[in-house]
Amino acid sequence: MLKLVVNHLGKNFHTSHAATILRELELENPVACLLRTAAETQDVETGDGTNFVILLAGALLENAEKLLHSGLPVVHIRAGYEMACKEVLRLLPGLSCYVLKNPRDVEEVLWVLQAAVGSKVFGYQKALARLVAKACILVLPPDRAAFNGDLIRVCKILGGGVADSSVVEGVVVCAEAEGIVRRVERARIAAYSCCFGPSGFEAKSTVVFNSASDIKLFSKSEENIIEQRILDLARAGVTVVVVGGKVHELALFYANRYRLMVVRLRSRMELQHLCKAVGATLLLAVTPPAPEELGHCRRVYMSEIGSTSVVVFSQDGIACPVVTIVLRGATTEMLDCVEEAIHDGINVYKVLGSDGRLLPGAGATEMALSVRLSTLGMYFPGPEQYGILEFSQALKTLPASLAENAGLPVNEVMAKIEVQHQLGTQNTGLRLASEEAGTIDAAKEGLFDPFLVKYRGIMLATQTAVTLLGVSEVMMAKKSGGPKPRGENPNWDQEPDALD
């Protein structure tokens, strides 16, 4: 379920991403801070499964509290959890039901990614998974392990629907061409990180004019210098100038005269991505670039998407190291939510480059592990069996949460799935698209979870719970800054019983 989070700066977040929610909240409880760290670690390592880590860790702590109230020592609970974690990680490879065979096949990658993307934006999972698949395949190097998700940019534009989003081989920036030149074919691009125009004095200086002719000559000499610089750029073959600083009016006048297209980018990161896409070298001063410092692009043009002006650097079929996903949406919050889903899909594709194994989704993996672990716990001699059985119950939290979010009768659905798994059908998951309690074969429906995401999520949640169970006391220092103000009470210095 989506949450509407308002952070301390007043910014709204419309998301179900656990790492984002916890990151924007101001947490003081040390237990909550440790859970946030676990979710952020999962997000950095795999890019997905943050909700799973929080749900499992919370369920383990809740079940441990029941055991503590029953009188079981903490040592036995921790030992039971650690034994259960080892057994679960041993059983996990046997649940693998599919392996990504061809990472360059759009349809196969789409089939694998739609569950990860749909967990953030349900209803648009197929369209968004296709966008992610196309973008990842375009930037995939021959060595799959060297995949870099940073080469996929996201450009968010208000208006339209999510289905209107597209993938562009090149760079799309929300900007306007500064001059009158709006389109260039077979462009030769020079990129500068400074302002486009006369540079100011580095030190304070004073100019003394003795007559009006001195003033005319001074301004004329400045114009001649700027014109000569622009002329040198044109003679060097430059047709598009991209700058990261301010564009001077006089420099723009001469750029229009010599038919140079000028584009200003306000983000240094966009400037670096553009240089990567066109093969240009970012220069520090407006000087004629060497031939090897020029960037090349098939087509540079200004367009309008919805009511937003954009400049497109398109290679049109030529191999391009940078790809842009143009996202459309009705609200800013919706675009942010879709962007999170896109980034999760990219990270899942990156994880699959290291290990292509996939597990059945829709709660099937957790229920299969729970059933097998409960069998082990029932016949295990010793007090650790209680920790193993509670770990087994904690694994049912994710399918129960899925059923509750889908509006299904939780007890009835969980009973049906558990019976199917006890009969040996390990791919049985929840049927979420129905009003009645039902089950599906998650592998046949294309609902998958990456093996590494689930593996690391179980490890992180268990380590977090075991660490917190080992804490005997929580000691916190008071915040600095003195006592808080008493407010507008005029009698703050008197005892309550002294007042009328």
Summarised one tens digit per residue, pLDDT across range 319-358 is 677 888 888 888 887 888 888 888 888 888 888 877 778 8
* pLDDT band at residue 485 using 50, 70 and 90 as cut-offs: low
* Cα separations in angstroms, 491 against 53, 484, 485: 50, 16, 13
> Residue 119 falls within a domain, yes or no?
no
Summarised one tens digit per residue, pLDDT across range 402-421 is 888 777 877 888 888 888 88
CATH at 212: 3.50.7.10
Looking at residue 500, what is its pLDDT?
44
* pLDDT band at residue 219 using 50, 70 and 90 as cut-offs: low
Looking at residue 203, what is its pLDDT?
46
Please say which residue of 265, 293, 319 terminates a domain: 319
Q: Are 314 and 169 in contact (CB under 8 A)?
A: yes
Same domain? For 199 and 272 the reply is yes
Q: Pick 290 or 481 by higher pLDDT.
A: 290
- Amino acid (one-letter) located at 96: S
Please say which residue of 291, 319, 347 terminates a domain: 319
- Domain residues for 384? 3-98+359-469
Same domain? For 78 and 192 the reply is no
Q: Based on the structure, what is the number of domains in the chain? A: 2
Same domain? For 303 and 365 the reply is no
CATH at 379: 1.10.560.10
Mean pLDDT score of the chain: 80
| Proportion of the chain above pLDDT 70, given as a percent | 89
* Average pLDDT value for residue range 352-367: 82
> Residue 482 falls within a domain, yes or no?
no
> Residue 239 falls within a domain, yes or no?
yes
Same domain? For 306 and 364 the reply is no
* Average pLDDT value for residue range 255-280: 85
Same domain? For 305 and 363 the reply is no
Summarised one tens digit per residue, pLDDT across range 239-264 is 888 888 888 888 888 888 888 888 88
Looking at residue 499, what is its pLDDT?
44
Same domain? For 193 and 310 the reply is yes
Same domain? For 226 and 306 the reply is yes
> Residue 475 falls within a domain, yes or no?
no
Same domain? For 269 and 369 the reply is no
Model confidence at 476: pLDDT above 80: no
> Residue 104 falls within a domain, yes or no?
no
Please say which residue of 257, 288, 319 terminates a domain: 319
* Cα separations in angstroms, 276 against 139, 148, 186, 252, 280: 12, 13, 17, 25, 7
Tell the burial category of 300 from Cβ atoms under 10 Å away from its Cβ (0-12, 13-18, 19+).
buried
* Average pLDDT value for residue range 141-153: 75
pTM of the predicted model, to two decimals?
A: 0.74
Same domain? For 386 and 455 the reply is yes
Phi, psi of 394 (to 5 degrees): -65, -30
Q: Are 128 and 342 in contact (CB under 8 A)?
A: yes
* pLDDT band at residue 435 using 50, 70 and 90 as cut-offs: low
* pLDDT band at residue 496 using 50, 70 and 90 as cut-offs: low
Summarised one tens digit per residue, pLDDT across range 308-317 is 888 888 877 6
> Residue 460 falls within a domain, yes or no?
yes
Same domain? For 91 and 214 the reply is no
> Residue 260 falls within a domain, yes or no?
yes
Same domain? For 315 and 367 the reply is no
| Proportion of the chain above pLDDT 90, given as a percent | 0
Range ranked top by mean pLDDT from 25-34, 229-238, 478-487: 229-238
> Residue 494 falls within a domain, yes or no?
no
Summarised one tens digit per residue, pLDDT across range 231-242 is 888 888 888 888
Same domain? For 371 and 281 the reply is no
